[in-house]
Structures are given as C-alpha cells and as structure tokens.
C-alpha cells in the first residue's frame, strides 16, 4: 500500500519525540529517525520489525510479560491509551518512558496504532547496585515518573520506603536528572555516625575546636555547595542536630564547630527514611518544622512484593552480572522461577541480590533450580553447621546443599571470585559491594588462599 505508507511516514516525521506506526500484528509500518536512533535500528531496516522486539528486546508482546500493552488496548477499544513502560535503549539500558497511543485510519481504511514516546529520564548506565532501579511494574514506573518530576524542580525531596528497596539509588537518580547533575553529590548515612560527630560531618570544624585538633575541616554542606546533599536515614537524627539542620536550611548559612564566621552554601537536600516520620513527629521525636522543610516532594519506593512482575527480570540481570564476573552462564528452572515469584522478600532487592549470589555458588553447571534458592526461614532445613572448621574454597557441588551453612556458601563464592579474577581483591570487593577491609576479614575468617 504505497500511498498509505507515505502518509504514515509523514505522520511520524512531524513528531519531535520518537514515534512509530504499528499494525494489528505488531509489525512496524513507519518510524521516525528519533525512534530508530533511540533503539539502535537503521531507518532502512525498521519497517517489518515487531515492535516488542525493538523497544522491549523481547520475542513476545509486552502483555505476555505482565505489562499493560497499548497495542491491545487501542485495537480492542479503538480509543487513545496512555501508559508508563520500561523500554531498552540502543545499548540495552532501561529507558523509562510514557507512551501515548492513538488509533488512526490509513488511506486504505485500515486501523493502525500510532505511538508517541516521551522519555521520563535520560537513560543511564546501571552499575551492579543500580540494578535496584530496574523494573517495569506499574508501581515502579509510577515511582520513576514521580522521581523525574522531582528532578525537574529544585525542591527538597523526601524518599521513603522499606529497607533494601533502593532509596539511595532513587536519590542519585533525582540528582543525575536535575540541573545540578554537574555539581557535587554528597551522602551522609545518619544512622551510621554517632550523634557527637554528625554536626562535625555536616558543618566541619575550625582549628582548635577540640583537644588535639590541629587543622580545619570542610563539612558536607560546603563540599556539596551548588549540588545535592543526600541524608540517608534522616529519621535517626537527634533533636539537637535537627534544630541546627533546620537553621541552615532556612538561612543557607552555618558556622563550623568551634568557629564564629558565617559560611554560606547553596545545597539541595534529598532525604530518605524507612521510618514513619509523621508518627515520629507525633511522638515528639522529629521536629514538625523540619519535616515540612525536607518533605517538599515525597516519593515512596515500592517494596518488591508490590512489584512481583519485576522479580524475575531483576534476577536475570543479576545473573548476567555474575556471569560476566565468573564466566559461567546461569539460567533459572521453572521451579526456581515459581519459588521466587511466590516469596515476599522482606529484605526487598537487597535480599534478592544475596539470594541470587548464594544460588550461583550452589549451582553445579549454571542451572539454578529450586533447591539452590534459600529463602528466609529455610535455614532450619539446611542443617547448618556454624562451627565448620576451615573453608578453603572447596567445590560446593561435591556436597549436598542440605549440609552447607550460609558461611560455607559465602566462602565458596568468595574463593570462586578470587580464582576467576586472579586474586585481585579490589575487583572482588567491588563485585561483592563490600570494602576491601571487609573482604580481608572474610578471607582471614574462612582461611582462603590467594589474593593480591
């Protein structure tokens, strides 16, 4: 149908954002240059491709993966439809988008689907920790859209959610998408530092501020000047420190510990907590005026049990990362998939990471079955022996999983990584997301050999 093809191409070429025309069989009839560029397909090769193969990197339509499919909605109801989706860009990175889909009659009288694609955020390469920001569920994509809206403003942001959901990654996402992206991003975990040191960390100190102090120190507010200061677990901050934090947020000025000079700063605050700050305010444990000062925009990161459709995609991406590190290709059996889908993950994505790493340590040949998936509450079934004498990185596959403790699994996994990476402890520590000092302690505890 030459005439209709020309007309459809003209429709998408008029659009500034990526646009595509799709028929009832999911085949692409026309796409503009922005669409082709976004998904890494040459314009001369795009017509005839399946839309889900291009944007989702999937062999099946998105509704078969548990997503709302604009194609199905438009062709079933013959009316416009709008939805949030996770596409994958030309490099395979998650691309969070809002799709506006419309039915259109071509010159032959056939109904086709026109999709206009609007990016919620600029695609970013994801590190191992940033895998927590991968997902396609409605609740997760709604969260990403709220974060994207927050990034376009300069208001303070309060991110809440359970432990392990990735609040720190959400904070970094907001900074990286904001106008402050080229300026410093500084973090402080309020739960990991004593009350006596918080003020010194935030504001710094002058020479002679305390016994033995021979120099001055810049605080985090000064280091973050022009950029973003992320206060993780802000609900753990004491009331006296809250008062001083409120003062600098209101005035943009502060004094270093032991100093008289007023220093100024321009800092955007992003705070995170897994506690109910409203309840803490009611209990007089958190200042109400500070709460309203930091909660300019509130975003809740959903727990993994509320985004179950994301569990397997997250697991697969984690397995791909382990495969790159170890050279072993891992695959989940149907039983393993069913077990993961039914679990509530009280530790959220952080727990999923731990479960995945333990499963790869137990797998003999890269096939991960249900017996390799050890969930919380299953330890009693494993007959753990916490007093196991020495761990020398022996082949876990030579012993039945029922005789292994969690320490055995960790020791084997670390030993495998050390062998794979020629004993490079820095690289292994980075893969395990722990410090080199922590890795040294584990190597000593398990009597592992190797490392440089």
Of 136-150, 189-203, 228-242, 322-336, which range is least confident?
A: 189-203
d(CA 220, CA 203): 6
Residue 379 has pLDDT above 60, yes or no: no
**Sequence-ordered list of residues with C-beta below 8 angstroms from that of 341, at least 6 positions apart, any chain:** 308, 311, 312
Q: What is the pLDDT of residue 214?
A: 65
Tens of pLDDT, residue by residue over 154-166, are 999 999 999 889 8
Kindly state the tokens that stand for 333: 């059996």
**Dihedral, CA atoms, 45, 50, 51, 57, nearest 10 degrees?**
-90
Residue 150 has pLDDT above 80, yes or no: yes
Q: Which CATH number fits domain 304-376: 1.10.8.60, 3.10.180.10, 3.30.1330.10, 3.40.50.720?
A: 1.10.8.60
Q: How confident is the model at residue 398 (pLDDT cuts 50, 70, 90)?
A: very low
Tens of pLDDT, residue by residue over 191-201, are 877 777 888 88
The residue ranges of every structural domain in the chain are 2-119, 129-300, 304-376, 383-399+410-452
Q: What angle do CA 341, 344, 348 make, to 5 degrees?
A: 100
Residue 106 has pLDDT above 70, yes or no: no
Q: What is the pLDDT of residue 449?
A: 62
Q: What is the pLDDT of residue 36?
A: 92
Q: What angle do CA 388, 393, 398 make, to 5 degrees?
A: 80
Q: What is the pLDDT of residue 384?
A: 33
Domain 129-300 class? alpha beta
Of 64-73, 127-136, 269-278, 424-433, which range is least confident?
A: 127-136
Q: How confident is the model at residue 386 (pLDDT cuts 50, 70, 90)?
A: very low
CATH architecture of 2-119: 2-Layer Sandwich (3.30)
Side-chain-side CA neighbours of 319 within 13 Å: the count stands at: 19
Tens of pLDDT, residue by residue over 213-266, are 667 788 888 899 999 999 999 999 989 889 989 999 988 888 888 778 888 899
Please give the share of the chain, as a percent, with pLDDT higher than 70: 85
Q: What is the pLDDT of residue 229?
A: 95
Tell me the CA distances in angstroms from 110 to 15, 27, 47, 135, 172, one per residue in order: 22, 14, 17, 34, 46
Nearest Cα to Cα of residue 391 among 321, 450, 322: 450
Q: Which of the listed ranges 100-114, 118-132, 238-252 does the model predict with the highest average pLDDT? A: 238-252
Residue 87 has pLDDT above 50, yes or no: yes
Collapsing DSSP states into helix, strand and coil, what is residue 117? strand
Q: What is the pLDDT of residue 121?
A: 61
* 208-230: b (≥16 Cβ within 10 Å) or e: ebeeeeeeebebbbbebbebbbb
DSSP letter (8 states) at residue 285: S
Q: How confident is the model at residue 401 (pLDDT cuts 50, 70, 90)?
A: very low
Q: What is the pLDDT of residue 199?
A: 80
Residue 403 has pLDDT above 50, yes or no: no
Q: How confident is the model at residue 178 (pLDDT cuts 50, 70, 90)?
A: very high
Collapsing DSSP states into helix, strand and coil, what is residue 271? strand
Q: What is the pLDDT of residue 123?
A: 53
Averaged confidence pLDDT in the chain: 82
Tens of pLDDT, residue by residue over 4-51, are 445 788 888 888 889 999 999 999 999 999 999 988 898 889 999 999
Tens of pLDDT, residue by residue over 202-227, are 888 877 666 666 677 888 888 999 99
């Amino acid at each position: 149908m030459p005439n209709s093809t020309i007309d459809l191409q003209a429709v998408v070429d008029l659009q500034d954002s990526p646009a595509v025309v799709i028929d009832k069989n999911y085949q692409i009839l026309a796409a503009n240059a922005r669409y082709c560029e976004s998904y890494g397909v040459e314009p001369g090769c795009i017509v005839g491709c399946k839309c889900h193969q291009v944007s989702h990197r999937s062999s099946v339509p998105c509704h078969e993966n548990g997503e709302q499919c604009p194609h199905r909605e438009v062709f079933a109801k013959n009316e416009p439809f709008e939805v949030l989706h996770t596409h994958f860009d030309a490099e395979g990175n998650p691309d969070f988008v809002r799709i506006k889909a419309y039915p259109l009659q071509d010159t032959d009288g056939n109904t086709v689907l026109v999709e206009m694609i609007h990016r919620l955020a600029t695609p970013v390469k994801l590190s191992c920790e940033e895998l927590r920001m991968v997902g396609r569920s409605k609740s997760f994509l709604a969260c990403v859209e709220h974060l994207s809206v927050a990034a376009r403003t300069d208001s303070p942001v309060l991110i809440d959610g359970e432990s392990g959901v990735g609040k720190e990654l959400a904070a970094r996402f907001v900074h990286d998408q904001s106008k402050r992206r080229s300026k410093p991003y500084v973090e402080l975990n309020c739960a990991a530092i004593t009350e006596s040191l918080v003020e010194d960390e935030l504001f710094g100190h002058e020479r002679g501020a305390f016994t033995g102090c021979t120099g001055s120190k810049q605080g985090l507010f000064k280091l973050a000047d022009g950029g973003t200061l992320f206060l993780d677990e802000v609900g753990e901050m004491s009331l006296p420190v809250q008062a001083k934090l409120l003062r600098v947020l209101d005035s943009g000025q502060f004094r270093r510990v032991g100093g008289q000079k007023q220093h100024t700063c321009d800092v955007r605050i992003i705070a995170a907590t897994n506690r109910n700050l409203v309840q803490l305010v009611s209990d007089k444990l958190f200042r109400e005026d500070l709460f309203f000062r930091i909660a300019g925009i509130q975003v809740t990161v959903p727990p993994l049990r509320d985004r179950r459709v994301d569990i397997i995609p997250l697991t697969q991406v984690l397995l791909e990362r382990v495969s790159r590190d170890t050279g072993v290709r891992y695959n989940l059996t149907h039983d393993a998939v069913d077990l993961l889908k039914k679990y509530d993950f009280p530790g959220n994505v952080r727990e999923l990471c731990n479960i995945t790493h333990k499963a790869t340590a137990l797998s003999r040949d890269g096939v991960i079955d249900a017996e390799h998936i050890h969930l919380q509450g299953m330890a009693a079934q494993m007959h753990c022996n916490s007093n196991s004498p020495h761990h020398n990185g022996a082949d876990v596959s030579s012993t039945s999983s029922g005789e292994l403790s969690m320490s055995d699994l960790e020791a084997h996994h670390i030993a495998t990584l050390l062998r794979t990476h020629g004993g490079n402890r820095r690289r292994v520590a980075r893969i395990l997301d722990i410090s080199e000092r922590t890795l040294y302690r584990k190597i000593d505890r398990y009597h592992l050999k190797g490392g440089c």
